[in-house]
Amino acid sequence: METWDLYDIHRNKIKRKAVRGEELQPGEYHLVVHVCIFNANGEMLIQQRQPFKEGWPNMWDVTAGGSAVAGDTSQIAAERELYEEIGLKVDLQHKSPHLTINTERVFNDIYLVEKNVNLHTLKLQEEEVQAVKWASLDEIFVMIRQGEFIPYYESFIQFLFDSRKKLGVRQI
């Protein structure tokens, strides 16, 4: 059973916690993290979700992501999700997210990291990830148009690629 810390609209932690799947009350938010790994060639490491995964089965997505569990900071959650999903360890403890996108009931923290990763060294989480690969911006656009990638706005994906240099991506 996964438990989440809850926050108010100002991102102050509140006393109540929620269990995954529980409906949040008005004014309650939880934290989700996303990590986008880029290589020196300007490609993003993407993952393909398992066919039995609830929500977007078989679809390609950014490198890693998921909900922060109770007690997690954003950095701890990002490190944990990256390690659990693809077996990659990074240290984000003294890093802030590059951006946060607030959606209904969720604070989405997004980390941009530059790291050349040998795909053969990764250990994929069988419950969630069936494959990984490096993809260019244009390849991801084609995948979105063909319904193979989670349907993010293309402008959002473009922003991630553009921001990796302009916002000071962390080389790890």
Domain regions of the chain by residue span: 32-99+109-167
**Predicted local confidence at residue 167, as pLDDT:** 57
pLDDT score of 109: 98
- pLDDT for position 171: 54
pLDDT at 165: 75
**17 in Cβ contact with 7 (< 8 Å):** no
pLDDT at 164: 85
| Stated pTM of the model | 0.92
**What pLDDT score was predicted for residue 132?**
98
Query: If the chain, 172 residues long, is cut into consecutive pieces of 10 residues, what is the mean pLDDT of each piece?
Result: 95 95 94 97 97 95 97 97 97 93 94 96 97 98 98 96 72 52
Is 32-99+109-167 CATH 3.20.20.140? Answer: no
Give the pLDDT confidence score for residue 41 in this predicted structure.
95
